[in-house]
Structure 1
Amino acid sequence: MSALSSVTVIGGGAVGLATAYYLRKADLDVTVIESGRPGRSTSWGNGGWLSPVLSIPTPGPGMPRMGIVESFQRDSAVAVRPHAAPSMIPWLLRFARHCTRSAFESGSARLGALSREMFDGFDELDDLGVPVEVPRQGNLRACLTEAEARHQLAGLAPMRAAGYAVPDRIMYAEEIHELEPELSDDVRSGFNLPEERHVDPGAFCDTLAEYLVEQGVRLLADTRVTGVRASGGRVTAVETTVGQVRTDALVVAAGLDTRLIAGWLGARLPIRGGKGYSFFVPSEYSPSHPLYLSHTKVGVTPLKGGYRVLGGMELADETLRINPRMIRGMIRVARRYLRHMPATESLAELPDLWAGLRPMTPDGLPVIDRLPDLSNAYVNSGHGMLGVGLCMVSGAALTDFMVNGRRPDVLAPFGATRF
């Protein structure tokens, strides 16, 4: 039996809220502390893809060369700019060391094991009547040539071998346009991952936060954490701008701020921000499928009233400044792949233009573990671009660890001391 009675979760994004859901389900008193509005930071503007097949590490073969070369290309959607933050160079070197084929395949297998029950939590919310819409349209890869499509499909062969639904052939021009008429004539091939799903991440976080409050979770929004008290190897309280919160255990799920808070507790976690961008396109011509636009690092998610264009990977600039070059690169890509993408170059005309800092580790794997030297402090962060997709399954696994005192085997690769 668990000796826990109360748990405080720092962070009200998708990962923090999902962890709070499972902790409350375990009949614990739960407090969530969020510096802004729940779900309105890094979770809000991403693609919301629930995609076990695409749950892969960000560092991969060719990534350093791609980032450095494209950093000097006009309107690129990928950039590595160490001159923007020289202190990040050691982290970038560690990241580069994980951009090997063997590291990528190993990381993919570990994330694939964690992703195997990705849909279960969302199905559970549906069974409870929590109004979270999770369309099941798959995830469509759109390619400009048949050779591109074959190459990218071949890269997913390990996922097919692991039992995931990956097609064994590409689609040709007529077939892919019949499936998705909003693709431009430049798109000549591709394939669909039929079992993948997606969710509007902002709506998901809003709905889950409302449900948690109904279930008795104490939600402290617009509340900043100013310190953490510990004594005798245990966290005893969290200091905030609205007062002290006493607690039996702590979960840090604060995105990029996890690095700072873990540091207060004596743990050095190499979590840095990978900046991503998105904007909304109001349109009656929205694609019906989430789209991954070949190798461009740009995606499209259909949402109510239009679609979101998302992408970009900007390393070393840990601010929320909008880089016009990155946005124009995304626009350029989307216009080539989508039939009705508006021909705009003005950033002022883009609704919901957004930048967010994805919490990233050098090996591209999250940290889901107990912090060293403290018996009741845990971390659930560093999910990179996979936070919404992995939020429910990582929250469930961490709660199992906290309540039962034994770390599930699936969490073994995500330890806090592996660095």
Structure 2
Amino acid sequence: MREDGIDGVPRRAVVVGAGVVGLSTAWFLQEHGVDVTVVDKQDVAAGSSWGNAGYLSPAFSIPLPEPAVLRYGLRTLFAPDAPLHVPASLDVGLWSFLTRFAAHCTPRAWRRSMQAFVPMNDECLDAFDALLAGGVDATTERAPLTAAFEDPAQAADLRHEFEQIRSCGQRIDTAELSTADAGVPQLSDRIASVLRVEGQRYVDPGEFTRALARSFVERGGTLRTGVAVRELVRTRGQVIVKSEPEERFSGEAVVLATGAWLSTLAKPLGVRTPVRAGRGYSFTVPTDEPVPGPIYLPAARVACTPYQGGLRVAGTMEFRPVDAPLDRGRIEAIVRSARPLLTGVRWEERRDEWVGGRPVTPDGRPLIGATKVPGTYVAGGHGMWGLTLGPLTGRLLAEQITTGKRPALLRPFDPLR
């Protein structure tokens, strides 16, 4: 009997969640010879795996709770136009979460969490390469990320952040350029300073996730959508997944990868760290000229990426219920903040307006690994970096499930912490 309570290598597994984290876990479980079923209450890439900015940027993959976020949040707590927004409400659970989040916004706590991210960031792009080499019919585009500033003094904050990351052991290659030398025609004449970050990539996130799903099915996996899981039951060496409509799926191992909905099913399994929805918005706009690579506007906290011949624009962190309707005012706030800094962008022709819940934990670290119930695992809470870290999360968790040994990289992300 292994330390996680499973007898031998699982023959069958069920993964709940058809986003990039869940499908990556399922795909890498197949690499170990496991027969996998993936279920989702909606569809493949129905949430943040579709609507995110598409960055594959280990240089920016950091814990969300940090002193600067706390200072900024206190100044703009209830401002509806602010990139970080907390609506006034009597949600006791939300305020309890935010209190815990604030307690982790210290230099010491951030550094401890960042040191856990560094080895994940070092390996995360290799996991994408493994998926592509294994038959996932998709591409990742290599391009530097251009951070643009209206005031050269604004660049100091990002340079300081990079220095803090480097002090934790992560390599980041940057170059300061003039706007003319940046080679990005979308930068307006308001941009006075540019910091280029080398070694990054980007992807069409929805297309990548759908390609991952196709590969999973082609390799013999079972994919069921429209299945809302309501509980997990452990019985006789199996975990039974009960769903609505009334169906049952079973396996020696079950993985919950349900994003911002993770706590609903994970809490009964002994996972006490809550996951809340940090909702992000995105939309797509046409551009007069091709976009050469990702653009980041740190002062506006807006991320832009080449997307289907145009530009995907993403931003905000909004702590509202995950299923709350899209707030069009938040879209307008992103447009107002980004419009002066970009040129040749047809803002009034925007399409694909979207809001989705990015899964945030109070300490900024994901929840990856075994729960208290033998045979059950969780993979979530990645915040804004579920796409960047999703394939590596799947590879490492599949290793733990099939060997019974937790990889060293996952120790800081113990879901029972």
Q: TM-score, normalised by structure 2?
A: 0.93
- Counterpart CA distance in 1 for 2:342 and 2:367 is 37
Which runs of structure 2 are paired with 1:296-307 in the superposition (5 Å)? 296-307=300-311
> Where do residues 20-419 of structure 1 align in structure 2 (5 Å cutoff)?
20-73=26-79, 75-83=81-89, 85-160=91-166, 162-167=169-174, 169-176=175-182, 179-231=183-235, 235-240=238-243, 241=245, 243-344=247-348, 350-372=350-372, 374-418=373-417
- How far the C-alpha of 1:154 sits from its partner, in A, is 2.9
Change in 2 beyond 3 A, CA 1:324/1:302 = same
- Sort the Cα spacing of 1:113 and 1:42 in 2 relative to 1 into closer, same or farther, 3 A: same
Q: C-alpha distance in 2, partners of 1:297/1:362? A: 20
Cα distance in 2 for partners of 1:204, 1:130 equals: 8
Looking at structure 1, the residues matched to 396 and 199 of structure 2 have their Cα atoms a distance apart, in angstroms, of: 23
- Classify 1:69/1:151 alpha carbon distance in 2 versus 1 (closer, same or farther; 3 Å): closer
1:324 Cα offset (Å):
2.7
TM-score, length of structure 1 as denominator length: 0.92
Task: Give 1:117 shift.
Answer: 0.8
- The Cα shift of 1:82 comes to 4.7
Can you list the C-alpha shifts for 1:7-35, whole angstroms capped at 9, x where unaligned? Answer: 10010111000100100111100000111
- Amino acid of the structure 2 residue aligned with 1:301: T
Between stretches 84-93 and 292-301, larger displacement belongs to 84-93
Tell me: CA distance 1:67–1:321, structure 2 relative to 1, closer, same or farther (3 Å).
Answer: farther
Q: Give SS of 2:410's match.
A: helix
Alpha-carbon distance in 2 for matches of 1:73, 1:252 = 34
Alignment deviations for residues 316-364 of structure 1 (CA, whole Å, 9 cap, x no partner) = 44333222332122101220221123354xxxx5311100011110011
Report sequence identity in percent.
33
Q: CA contact under 8 A between 1:20 and 1:32: conserved in structure 2?
A: yes
> Secondary structure in 1 aligned to 2:312?
strand
Q: Could you tell me which amino acid in structure 2 is paired with residue 377 of structure 1?
A: T
Q: Which amino acid aligns with 1:361?
A: T
Separation in 2 of the partners of 1:151 and 1:65? Answer: 13
What letter is aligned with 1:336?
P
Aligned-pair CA distance for 1:182:
1.2
Bigger mean CA offset, 60-69 vs 16-25: 60-69
Work out the number of aligned pairs and report it: 409
* 3-state DSSP of counterpart to 2:358: strand
CA–CA separation in structure 2 for the residues paired with 1:354 and 1:9: 25
Contact 2:62 2:117 in 1 (8 A): yes
Does the aligned pair in 2 maintain the 1:371–1:377 contact within 8 Å?
yes
In 1, distance between residues paired with 2:190 and 2:79? 22
Q: In structure 1, how many angstroms separate the alpha carbons of the residues matched to 2:226 and 2:194?
A: 44
| Residues 153 and 170, structure 1, Cα contact 8 Å, conserved in 2 | no
1:9 aligns to 2:8 (yes or no) = no
Q: 1:285 to 1:77 in 2, by over 3 A?
A: farther
Q: Indicate conservation of the 8 Å contact 1:320/1:356, yes or no.
A: no
1:174 Cα shift? 2.7
2:280/2:357 contact within 8 Å kept? yes
Give per-residue Cα distances to partners, 1:213-255, cap 9 Å, x unaligned. 00001001111113222136x5521112252112111111111
**Where in structure 1 are there 5+ consecutive unaligned residues?**
none
Q: Could you tell me how far 1:145 is from its partner in structure 2?
A: 2.2
C-alpha distance in 2, partners of 1:90/1:266? 18
- The answer to whether the 8 A contact 2:118-2:170 is kept is no
Gaps of 5+ in 2: 1-6
The 3-state SS of whatever aligns with 1:150 is: helix
Is the contact made by 1:45 and 1:202 (CA closer than 8 Å) also made in structure 2? yes
Matched AA of 1:326: R
Distance 1:220 1:317, change over 3 A: closer
Q: Distance in 2 between matches of 1:124 and 1:266?
A: 33
**Cross-structure match for 2:4:** none
Contact 1:52 1:115 (8 Å CA) reproduced = yes
Could you tell me how far 1:146 is from its partner in structure 2?
2.0
Q: Kindly provide the CA deviation profile for residues 135-191 of structure 1, in whole angstroms up to 9, marking residues without a partner as x.
A: 101211111122222331232024445352322x52223323xx2121111111121
Distance change >3 Å, CA 402–CA 259, structure 1 → 2? same
Q: Secondary structure at the match of 1:339?
A: coil
Amino acid at match of 1:352: D
Q: Secondary structure at the match of 1:92?
A: helix
After superposition, the Cα gap between the structure-2 partners of 1:163 and 1:356, relative to the gap in structure 1 and judged at 3 Å, is: closer
